[in-house]
């Protein structure tokens, strides 16, 4: 029978006897002994469940702190060094081997601004006209970008207007743009700093001269660009 008060079984229990008497040599064990044995078993089960619960609580991962996500893009003609700049920023290294970006490449880097953790998502857009149908999907919702040209290639500098127009056409809404003059370590420079800086000022862009090869001012660009985005787009105090 099932005892509704104690919520445990109280069936009679038998143990082996001396062979004399009914039941084929088995005798009934005292009910209070059974109760003690069963009570001990229930206590053990309760302890086990308690331990399991504690282990589960310890294994629960703490909730991740809020992370501010920033979307950046790179723009500029093929071969100006966009991928090298991003690699220098994300990985701190430079490769002399040239591999043109096919469509869109992606990089990510987590940084801290005071108490804030920021994840910078970088979309490296291929510069060739044949990739327009691919890269045009990545202008939307961008918060900032680097507009890159090669100081040894005047054509890449003259193409900057077209890149700004393209970004506006395909959904970039008032992103923070920094003009980045790359390869300043090269002796065969054809675009002067004065000319390039004047163009950036006329279009309301901040101007930087960098070298992906040596790393000169690359970190500066992304630190200041991200800081400005956090202030202007997120209302965060990054001073």
Distance CA 10, CA 29 (A): 12
How many residues are there in the chain?
239
DSSP assignment of 41-110:
HHHHHHHHHHHHHHHHHHHSPPPPPPEEEEEEEEE--TTSSHHHHHHHHHHS---SS-----SEEEEEEE
CA–CA distance, 148 with 176 (Å, rounded to integer): 14
Strands 8-9 and 2-3: antiparallel
Q: Is residue 188 classed exposed, middle or buried when 0-12, 13-18 and 19+ CB atoms within 10 A define those classes? A: exposed
Q: What is the pLDDT along the chain (239 residues), one digit of tens a residue?
A: 333 333 444 444 444 455 555 545 544 444 454 444 455 556 666 666 666 655 555 554 545 568 999 999 999 999 999 999 999 999 999 877 667 778 799 999 999 988 889 999 999 999 999 999 999 999 999 999 999 999 999 999 999 999 999 999 999 999 999 999 999 999 999 999 999 999 999 999 999 999 999 999 999 999 999 999 999 999 998 76
Query: What domains, with CATH codes, occur in the chain?
Result: 2-59 (no CATH), 67-234 (3.40.50.300)
Q: Which residues pair with 28 in a beta bridge?
A: 14
């Amino acid at each position: 029978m099932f005892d509704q008060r104690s919520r445990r079984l109280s069936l009679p229990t038998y143990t082996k006897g001396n062979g004399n008497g009914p039941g084929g040599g088995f005798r009934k064990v005292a009910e209070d002994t059974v109760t003690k044995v069963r009570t001990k078993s229930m206590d053990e089960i309760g302890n086990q469940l308690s331990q399991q619960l504690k282990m589960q609580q310890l294994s629960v991962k703490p909730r991740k702190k809020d992370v501010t996500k920033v979307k950046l893009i790179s723009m500029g003609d093929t071969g100006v060094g966009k991928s090298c700049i991003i690699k220098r920023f994300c990985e701190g290294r430079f490769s002399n081997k040239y591999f043109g970006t096919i469509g869109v490449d992606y990089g990510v880097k987590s940084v801290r601004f005071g108490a804030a953790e920021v994840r910078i998502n970088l979309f490296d857009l291929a510069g060739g006209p044949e990739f327009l149908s691919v890269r045009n999907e990545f202008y939307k919702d961008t918060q900032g970008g680097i507009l890159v040209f090669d100081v040894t290639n005047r054509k890449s500098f003259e193409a900057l207007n077209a890149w700004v127009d393209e970004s506006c056409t395909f959904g970039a809404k008032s992103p923070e743009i920094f003009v980045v003059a790359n390869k300043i370590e090269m002796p065969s420079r054809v675009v002067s700093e004065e000319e390039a800086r004047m163009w950036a000022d006329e279009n309301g862009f901040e101007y930087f001269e960098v070298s992906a090869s040596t790393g000169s001012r690359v970190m500066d660009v992304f630190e200041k660009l991200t800081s400005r985005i956090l202030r202007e787009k997120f209302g965060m105090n990054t001073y």
